[in-house]
Amino acid sequence: MTCRFKSSALIGIVAFLYTLSSQTVLSGDFEKTFRAEVSQFINSLDEAQSKACLQPLEGNQRWHMQYTGGDRPGIKIEQLNAKQRASLEKALLVVLSPHGWKMANAVAKEDAKNGEKDPIGKYWITCFGDPLKGDFAFRLAEHHLTIVHLQIAEGELKEFGPILQGSNPPKLWKTDEQILLGAWENIDNKKAFIKDKKAVASKPMAEGDGILFSELNFKAKGYIKGAWQLRLNLFTTPVIAQLNRLHEARGGWEKSRVCFYNQAPEKRCIDGGRWDFKCGLPGMVWDYQSSTGHIHMSLWAKDVSKQK
């Protein structure tokens, strides 16, 4: 293996992660705050905008996962006036940490064509359901970026996402790649790697792939947990707490399976690495894909009670 990613680097990364989310919305107030901010944004729209933005919660689009660009249901950010955009940003920053908002804008800027002055303007905003009446999801989506949060009534989180990120050319998400490379460098179980089989980001982890997290050695566990924390750090503190509770409810690290695919992960995608990664629980996955020559990542958890 050629990564040479030292354990001291992991310690530095994890220490850095815990300092990024500076949002001060308390967990107990999160749902109330999020509903209020989304409702304020919806109320700022005119009749035609509101009709386009509000979509059924249980429609086919709610769980649609698409990395490629193109039209989505909802309303484009470029169609909003300055006051509406400010209201939208307030709603998004209840869910996204400053780091998450920075990365969302970085994805949009990377994807900008012909010197677009407003790269985030082409992204679509959709509200699935009514934030004043019950369960709802609020989404920002277009090429290589989908941010969705579903908050269940009374503060109970049963579904989350899908959260999709990408990068082409694969310049972004360097730290995510490095920490997964560090995990591989410390994995000594060959069953954690499936050669020449690609794993599509956003797809469920195939049953039996890889090995249980509990079978990893101490150092490898540290890197995988660091990669998980790095992914979570796109969000604010109350969202991270709820995602960790959701993770535990599905079986936590004891039931998680870890697998690398296609090529041995020894270098970043931009340097020619063509490997994929998945860590999964029943109805939940977070992953990384570079076997296509650029980066796709996802994080989502479905309500498994609906699937019975």
- Model confidence band, residue 182 (pLDDT cutoffs 50, 70, 90): very high
pLDDT given for residue 157 in this prediction: 73
Q: Quick one: CA dihedral 198, 199, 203, 209, positive or negative?
A: positive
Residue 210 reports pLDDT greater than 90: yes
Q: What is the mean pLDDT of residues 23-39?
A: 75
- Model confidence band, residue 8 (pLDDT cutoffs 50, 70, 90): very low
CA angle 45, 143, 148 (to 5 degrees): 55
Q: What is the pLDDT of residues 278-287, one digit of tens each?
A: 999 999 999 9
Distance CA 161, CA 170 (A): 23
- Model confidence band, residue 149 (pLDDT cutoffs 50, 70, 90): confident
CA atoms lying within 13 Å on the CB side of residue 135 = 12
Q: How many residues does the chain have?
A: 308
pLDDT given for residue 27 in this prediction: 52
Least confidently predicted of 23-32, 87-96, 226-235 = 23-32
Q: What is the pLDDT of residues 246-263, one digit of tens each?
A: 999 999 999 999 999 999
- Model confidence band, residue 15 (pLDDT cutoffs 50, 70, 90): very low
